[in-house]
């Protein structure tokens, strides 16, 4: 079943629940349908927003982990190269003369 059909079925169910809650009074089908659409769409919007936040936080953690790893590697390279520079001796100068 497609997502469009699922949403339609969900709206139908909510509209019928609204019809029952209103005392099964006929003549308010459009009101119930529009209210049901609003309820269902807001519900799905919240779910999408929550999913987006979860995905965003996962990406943020992944990126921040990569950044930390790169920073650590860079720091290790920098400290390693500076220690090599300090221990490296320059060749003796030739005497002219």
Residues 85 and 22: their CA atoms lie apart, in Å, by 83
DSSP string, 7-70: HHHHHHHHHHHHHHHTTS-TT-HHHHHHHHHHHHHHHHHHHHHHHHHHHHHHHHHHHHHHHHHH
CA distance 38 to 50: 18
Other C-beta atoms within 10 Å of 11: how many?
20
Q: Which of 30-34, 62-66, 67-71 has the highest mean pLDDT?
A: 30-34
Which residue is it, tokens 């920073």? Answer: 71
Q: How buried is residue 67: exposed, middle or buried, by Cβ count under 10 Å (0-12/13-18/19+)?
A: exposed
The average pLDDT across 41-60 equals 89
Predicted confidence (pLDDT) per residue in 12-42, tens digit: 999 999 999 999 999 999 999 999 999 999 9
* pLDDT on residue 67: 62
DSSP letter at 1? Answer: -
Q: What is the pLDDT of residue 56?
A: 85
């Amino acid at each position: 079943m497609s997502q469009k059909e699922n949403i339609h079925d969900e709206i139908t169910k909510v509209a019928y629940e609204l019809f029952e809650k209103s005392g099964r009074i006929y003549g308010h089908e459009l009101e119930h349908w529009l209210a049901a659409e609003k309820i269902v769409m807001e519900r799905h919007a919240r779910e999408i927003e929550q999913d987006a936040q979860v995905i965003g936080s996962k990406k943020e953690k992944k990126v921040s982990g990569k950044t930390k790893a790169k920073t650590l590697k860079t720091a290790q390279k920098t400290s390693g190269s500076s220690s090599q520079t300090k221990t490296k001796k320059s060749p003796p100068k030739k005497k002219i003369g």
